[in-house]
Amino acid sequence: MYRLLRAPFQPVTYSRWLHLCVPLLLLAIWMFVMPEWPWGPMLLILPFGLVPWVRLAEGLQAQFLLTPYDRGSADGVISLAPSAHWGDRWRTVVWLETRMVIATGAMAATVWMPVLTVDLVASALGYSPEPGPLAALVPEHRWVAALLAPVPLIVLMVVVVLLGELVTAIATRLLGPSAAERLSALEARTEQLLERTRIARELHDSIGHALTVAVVQAGAARAAGDPVFTDRALSAIEETGRAALEDLERVLGVLRESGQQPSQRPTLAEADRLLESARASGSEVDARLTGPLEKLPGPVTREGYRILQESLTNVLRHCGPVPVRVRVEMEVDRLEMEVTNALPTRPAVTPGGGSGLRGIRERAALLGGQAESGPYEGGWRVRARLPLERIR
């Protein structure tokens, strides 16, 4: 009851009313040309429902008029695509026929209820109603006619609200996405969520590496008290900060979905800047990268870069500026990565633990590879193996 009382003040009531009246334009033209065949439009619209683009037009009209202020729930409920299969075409045919029938009822109420109200008002003022099919509904007593005058308008509003909800419910069933479209939308949504998860992980790796390098280098520069070393450390902090800002700008561009082409993610071919950052932090880095790394598949070289970045970040974060050995070797069917570091006398945190190693394992698992860490030759080692065959 409250919904009916509120309906006259809601714009969606009138937009649905308009949607119900649109098919009657065809009927009005038809009745002007061939009034002896009032059901002619029902046959005329049959072949139009089989045209693929009619479903798109009906979907746009239904979403715009039936759910104009509730687009969030309309997305995925009313399809905005042409008919892809015969099932969609036949559903469109049924929709057109059903819409015509409901529109006829709505138009009858729209025309006759105001006419009845005018007759009741005229009778209440002492005038005789015009002869017609509704004249029998007008009472003889003027005071009764005065009391009943608002009733037809109330009935009209109730009919419009109920038929509007009915046609909206039918539209979601007949113009809704097919099973194939729902599956495609679900896959797209899943890919979007996976992409956002990957972006969040990359942002963690990039910003975490930059902050770790900056903290370690700033602490080393303050402890050294050497202007030359301090200048070199500040330069390294600046370079690392610029790289982190580039990654941040790329990530924010993707999250905003602005349509702009983001900068490319770094690859193992750019691993030198990671090694230089570690060296500038005071670590002695023994690096050996073998094989044509520039020919690695895109996913492998990008994830490999992040694995190396996170491994070096873990060393600096948990062990400080200790000697590090880096081995990256591209073989025929896989990419082998190994980062080994010495342990400090009193490590603040267990090296290699926490979210860093978990992120490395997740990246390796996404490519069908594996990663592990543990003590090795008095130090700590992180190893990752990424397959190449299944990526190509």
pLDDT tens per residue, range 23-41: 877 777 777 777 777 777 7
CA dihedral 386, 341, 361, 392 (to 10 degrees): -10
* Long-range pairs of 193-199 with CB within 8 A, sequence gap ≥ 24: 195/254, 196/255, 199/251, 199/254, 199/255
Which of the two residues, 359 and 22, has the higher pLDDT score? 22
What are the DSSP E strand ranges found in 285-369? 285-290, 324-330, 334-342
pLDDT of residue 288: 93
* d(C-alpha 265, C-alpha 253), whole Å: 13
User: Across residues 292-305, what is the average pLDDT?
Assistant: 87
Q: Which of 169-178, 193-202, 367-376 has the lowest mean pLDDT?
A: 193-202
Which of the two residues, 297 and 71, has the higher pLDDT score? 297
pLDDT of residue 303: 86
pLDDT surpassing 70 at residue 2 = no
Q: Which of 157-166, 186-195, 339-348 has the lowest mean pLDDT?
A: 186-195
- Written as one string, the DSSP assignment of 59-93 is HHHHHHHHSTT-HHHHTTTS--S---SHHHHHHHH
* d(C-alpha 163, C-alpha 158), whole Å: 8
pLDDT, tens digit, 9 for 90 and up, residues 222-264: 766 777 777 777 777 777 777 777 777 766 665 665 444 444 6
User: Across residues 104-118, what is the average pLDDT?
Assistant: 87
Which of the two residues, 181 and 141, has the higher pLDDT score? 141
pLDDT tier for residue 183 given thresholds of 50, 70 and 90: low
CB burial readout 327-346, b (16+ within 10 A) else e: ebebeeeebebbbbbbeeee
pLDDT surpassing 60 at residue 283 = yes
* d(C-alpha 300, C-alpha 333), whole Å: 12
pLDDT above 70: percentage of residues in the chain: 78
pLDDT surpassing 70 at residue 45 = yes
pLDDT, tens digit, 9 for 90 and up, residues 167-177: 998 998 888 87
pLDDT of residue 229: 72
pLDDT of residue 241: 77
Give the pair of three-digit tokens for residue 9.
């003040």
What rounded mean pLDDT belongs to the chain? 79
pLDDT, tens digit, 9 for 90 and up, residues 134-165: 667 777 788 888 888 888 888 898 898 899 88
* Long-range pairs of 42-47 with CB within 8 A, sequence gap ≥ 24: 42/97, 42/100, 45/93, 45/96, 45/97, 45/100, 46/93, 46/96, 46/97
Give the pair of three-digit tokens for residue 22.
């649109």
Angle CA(294)–CA(297)–CA(298) in degrees, nearest 5? 90
pLDDT of residue 73: 43
Which of the two residues, 103 and 251, has the higher pLDDT score? 103
